[in-house]
Amino acid sequence: MSNDKVYIHELINIIGTGRARYMHHMTANWCPTARAERNQDCYGVWGTVGSTGRWPEVVNMWELDGWDGLAANFDHELSHAGLQDPSLAEWWGVAASLRSGGIDRIVVPAPWAPPIAELLASGAGGRVYAHEIISVAPGGADQLLDRAAEIGRPAAGELGVGLLGGFRTAMGDDHEAILVWSFPDWPSWTAFEQAWSAGGAMAGWGAELRRLDARWQRTLMIDAPLAPLRTGRQPQIEDRRPLDEL
């Protein structure tokens, strides 16, 4: 298995109570345009569970056709005097009223991590997700992702938990990886968390992370209503509706 896609991973700071409106604006009002003009698919849009991380926050992931696709995306966006696609001026204006900034990464998938089309075809997804950002020694991200597939994924599978994807942060010293876990329900998440203790299903993976001198933080996320892993398809133009209805 291999995955030659490249991804944009975003952590978005939401203003006040605008998270639901922002998630709809991203999925219904942006995704169809991005797919038509940039060949960019939505991998996921999630709201962070505030009790487990920063709040209010949205996590976005966008899938592009490799490095050439990413370059074409940047060229489409930035080949204008204002460094912004003029056709999106109104969209950006609304988005700016709902968010105060954030931080993006370019990430490259592990060979075992399927692209979004394959995940949808297999019926992947969950009721709740966990998102981990893991730091290791420079140059160690690929090894960590390999070990996640060899040790972490089968261990989680014993609990009915899926490892949807694993990604290495690009444009740096390869010290950072991202894992996305999926849970069919809340009890499976609580079983997963408790299984990291000695004798639990995840204890071996925890020991391997410590052997790699990894540092990690896990936060929970919930799918946006129109996110593809929830609906089984990419958002469509007909999904659009006025933001004041949300």
Instruction: CATH number of the domain at 59, please.
Output: 3.30.70.100
Q: Quick one: pLDDT band at residue 94, thresholds 50, 70, 90?
A: confident
Q: Are residues 130 and 95 located together in one domain of the fold?
A: no
Containing structural domain, residue 178: 116-223
Mean pLDDT, residues 85-110 taken together: 87
Examine the pLDDT at 174 and tell me if it is beyond 70: yes
Residue of higher predicted confidence among 60 and 79: 60
Tell which residue, 245, 184, 230, has the closest CA to residue 27.
Answer: 230
Examine the pLDDT at 238 and tell me if it is beyond 90: no
CA gyration radius, the chain: 18
Examine the pLDDT at 243 and tell me if it is beyond 80: no
Q: Are 8 and 61 in contact (CB under 8 A)?
A: yes
Q: Are residues 141 and 105 located together in one domain of the fold?
A: no
Residue of higher predicted confidence among 238 and 98: 98
- Of 109, 125, 142, the last residue of a domain is 109
pTM of the complete model: 0.94
CA distance 187 to 182: 12
Q: Are residues 150 and 71 located together in one domain of the fold?
A: no
pLDDT at 2: 85
111-160 pLDDT tens trace: 999 999 999 999 999 999 999 999 999 999 999 999 999 999 999 999 99
65-89 pLDDT tens trace: 999 999 999 998 888 666 566 667 7
pLDDT at 81: 65
Question: Any bridge partners for residue 169, and if so which?
Answer: 107
First-to-last C-alpha distance (Å) of the chain = 41
Residue that has been written with the tokens 């290791």 in this structure: 136
Q: Are 62 and 34 in contact (CB under 8 A)?
A: yes
Q: Are residues 96 and 123 located together in one domain of the fold?
A: no
236 phi and psi angles, rounded to 5 deg: -115, 160
Q: Are residues 56 and 126 located together in one domain of the fold?
A: no
| Count of structural domains, the chain | 2
* Mean pLDDT value across the chain: 94
Question: Any bridge partners for residue 41, and if so which?
Answer: 63
Q: Are residues 10 and 92 located together in one domain of the fold?
A: yes
Q: Are residues 74 and 130 located together in one domain of the fold?
A: no
Q: Which two tokens stand for residue 106?
A: 């370019």
Q: Are residues 142 and 213 located together in one domain of the fold?
A: yes
- Of 52, 79, 109, the last residue of a domain is 109
Tell which residue, 18, 24, 38, 42, has the closest CA to residue 87.
Answer: 38
194-211 pLDDT tens trace: 999 999 999 999 999 999
Instruction: Evaluate whether residue 246 is within a structural domain.
Output: no
Instruction: Evaluate whether residue 83 is within a structural domain.
Output: yes
